[in-house]
Structure 1
Amino acid sequence: MTRAASAYPTLSRTLAPAHGLTRDLLLILGGAALVALVAQVEVPLKPVPVTLQTLAVLLVGAALGWKRGAASLTTYLLAGAAGLPVFAGGSAGLAKFAGPTGGYLLSYVFAAALVGWLVERYALDRTVRGTALAMLAGSVVIYAFGLPWLGATTGLKGQALLNAGLTPFLLGDALKLGLAALLLPTAWAWAQKK
């Protein structure tokens, strides 16, 4: 017997179970706004800055589920492409997608969708270990898109590419993953008491 694709409700569906277009739009816009807000917390590093975006991307995917998570990050990218200063350091515009961070930006939709799918399918956001696994999978997607794009736009290869687009972020990603692994199960414990 197989489990349905959305066997487990997301945190947002548990806290606000009423269905409706308005509710979904507010959740999608709220997720995009959260990513835009934390993108402004930036440690300038070239060619890829250190931000809290990835934490927000993965949390949005887990909290909203794969469809609304992907829609939220698509909204975020469209807002930035349209010129709203939502990307790291208040930057915006289509040129960001052609630059060294373009692959990372585009990965956000897929990372949020994967984390959301894992949460809906396996309830990985309810335990520290499960949340860590879901967030790790989302992080792999981000690097799978980001590193090749970074290499293609900068000409970096091999160890130089890893030193520019992966190594400086590993400790921060581990800390963000740990934070998410604590936040989501805590939120679930709180939601179950309501």
Structure 2
Amino acid sequence: MENAKSTNTTKMLVLSALFTAIVAVCAQVSIPIGPVPFTLQVLAIFLASLILPPKYAFLSLLVYDLLGAVGVPVFAGFTGGLSKFAGPTGGYLMAFPIAAFVTSYINAKKPIKNEAANASVALISGLAIIYVFGFLYLSWAAHMTLKKAFAAGVLPFIIPDIIKLAIAYLIARAVKSRKVLNIA
């Protein structure tokens, strides 16, 4: 029994590392459109959140942030360093682990019995966390009004992010239904 628990922990740590890498790769699909670039990070973050248990989803994104903080070029545009946390996108980066945990937690607890509705609530809650942290911090870091920060850091992303959430849900559902990763 102890060996099975150890094997599962090892598996979850490996999957967490894999999702850290997936987020880093998706961050490089980046289109600068203002102070906040368009990336595929949200897709990868929420894919991790729907597949990993809450503490491992959090860990995956925390490691991503820590790698970037120490200078590994995992952030958009192959950048890294603590300065990214002080810049306009710092709030989004800080929100990633929290959003991953909350999304995974809600999805795992299944407050709504309908799978798609439950995942939708989880995903939208996580995205709201990223948006709120992100645009409030953007307002402060870029010396913008809240209205301008919202217009630059949230509005252009709503439709593309909802599409990314739907894609993440469909991929996670396919992975889980095929038991590709053998996650309970």
Fold in common (TM above 0.5): yes
Q: Which whole-Å CA distance do the structure 2 matches of 1:158 and 1:107 have between them?
A: 18
Question: Which secondary structure state, in structure 2, belongs to the residue aligned with residue 180 of structure 1?
Answer: helix
Contact 2:42 2:165 in 1 (8 A): no
Displacement of 1:125 in angstroms is: 11
Gaps in structure 1 of 5+ consecutive residues: 1-15
Question: Which secondary structure state, in structure 2, belongs to the residue aligned with residue 22 of structure 1?
Answer: helix
Q: Which whole-Å CA distance do the structure 2 matches of 1:101 and 1:118 have between them?
A: 26
Question: Which secondary structure state, in structure 1, belongs to the residue aligned with residue 179 of structure 2?
Answer: helix
Q: Deviations over 1:142-193 (max 9, x none)?
A: 011111100001111143122111111011112112212322233333239x
Q: Verify: 1:74 aligned to 2:70, yes or no.
A: no
Instruction: Figure out how many residues of one structure are paired with residues of the other and give that number.
Output: 178
Gaps in structure 2 of 5+ consecutive residues: none
Q: Which whole-Å CA distance do the structure 2 matches of 1:91 and 1:124 have between them?
A: 39
Q: Verify: 1:32 aligned to 2:20, yes or no.
A: yes
Contact 2:49 2:100 in 1 (8 A): yes
1:49 to 28, 37, 46: 37
Q: Which whole-Å CA distance do the structure 2 matches of 1:125 and 1:138 have between them?
A: 19
Contact 2:54 2:100 in 1 (8 A): yes
Percent identity between the aligned chains? 36
Q: Which whole-Å CA distance do the structure 2 matches of 1:96 and 1:20 have between them?
A: 34
Q: Which residue of 2 aligns with 1:174?
A: 162
**Structure-2-length-normalised TM-score:** 0.88
Displacement of 1:128 in angstroms is: 2.9
Q: Which residue of 1 aligns with 2:176?
A: 188
What aligned pairs does 1:147-162 form with structure 2 within 5 A after superposition? 147-162=135-150
Q: Verify: 1:23 aligned to 2:11, yes or no.
A: yes
Contact 2:51 2:176 in 1 (8 A): no
Displacement of 1:40 in angstroms is: 0.5
Contact 2:123 2:165 in 1 (8 A): yes
1:134 to 118, 122, 145: 122
Q: Which whole-Å CA distance do the structure 1 matches of 2:29 and 2:97 have between them?
A: 20
The letter of the residue matching 1:150 is L
The letter of the residue matching 1:182 is L
Q: Which residue of 2 aligns with 1:5?
A: none
Contact 1:28 1:71 in 2 (8 A): yes
| Pair 1:136–1:19, CA change in 2 (3 A) | same
The letter of the residue matching 1:184 is A
Contact 1:32 1:75 in 2 (8 A): yes
